[in-house]
A and B are shown apart, each in its own frame.
Chain A
Amino acid sequence: EAGVAQSPRYKIIEKRQSVAFWCNPISGHATLYWYQQILGQGPKLLIQFQNNGVVDDSQLPKDRFSAERLKGVDSTLKIQPAKLEDSAVYLCASSKGGGSGTVSFGPGTRLTVT
């Protein structure tokens, strides 16, 4: 079974620029999550999708962050404009859904904002 795929793996941008991250979850996984992990901290949930609908985006800074899940499969997370404090690893994860199954994580995208 192929794991969660993410790209790019690394990205360096200047503040006020925009950036987008892509995620392809494990095949058949209905639930998709985006987490932000700041250095020295644990991952923090940004947004959760069930199929192509948003379940929880209460922690997503909606003035600059947006996310969508295309046709209930792939997902993109966008930041526009980026701030210095957005420097972090962005982790995509997926699970079968319905409260069952293990949450599997992708390798993450390390974003550096200068």
Chain B
Amino acid sequence: DQQVKQNSPSLSVQEGRISILNCDYTNSMFDYFLWYKKYPAEGPTFLISISSIKDKNEDGRFTVFLNKSAKHLSLHIVPSQPGDSAVYFCAASFSGSARQLTFGSGTQLTVLP
């Protein structure tokens, strides 16, 4: 039973354009959501997070949107750069779990120069 789903295994975007990565979750107990970026042969690195009390969080070129009623979140990257090419994982946790993360299966983003 996948509690966090990323339905697009891959996404290609032209440099300078917007990248939108999507994530759906099923467990309504989740109240904290994160995006991690992973390069080959490296561990995932934290990118941005959002608490369920918010619907938007920005950090530079990265913005995460949360739609609790739809149990959906998305990561927007504007403008996309070739160095953003990586696998992006959506993850979720809930209060009291000591940051125990449940991950989606990832989306491979390729930014074309």
**Chain A interface residues (CB < 8 Å from chain B):** 4, 31, 33, 40-45, 48, 50, 55-56, 91, 93, 95, 97-108
Contacts and interface: CB of A to CB of B under 8 A. Distances in A.
Contacts of B49: 102
Contacts of A108: 42-43
Given A93-B43, A103-B101, 10 more contacts: A4-B43, A40-B105, A42-B4, A43-B101, A99-B95, A99-B99, A103-B99, A105-B43, A105-B44, A108-B42
Interface residues of B, number: 25
A79 to B, nearest CB: 19
Contacts of A40: 105
A107 B98 contact: no
B46 A104 contact: yes
B103 A42 contact: yes
B44 A91 contact: yes
Interface string B20-45: 00000000000000101000011111
A97 B34 CA distance: 17
Given A102-B46, A107-B41, A55 B98 contact: yes
Contacts of A104: 46
A102 B89 CA distance: 15
12 contacts: A31-B99, A42-B6, A42-B91, A42-B105, A43-B103, A45-B102, A48-B100, A56-B100, A95-B98, A105-B45, A106-B43, A107-B42
A100 B98 CA distance: 7
B6 to A, nearest CB: 8
Interface centre among A31, A55, A98, A105 (most CB of B within 10 A): A105
Contacts of A103: 34, 46, 99, 101
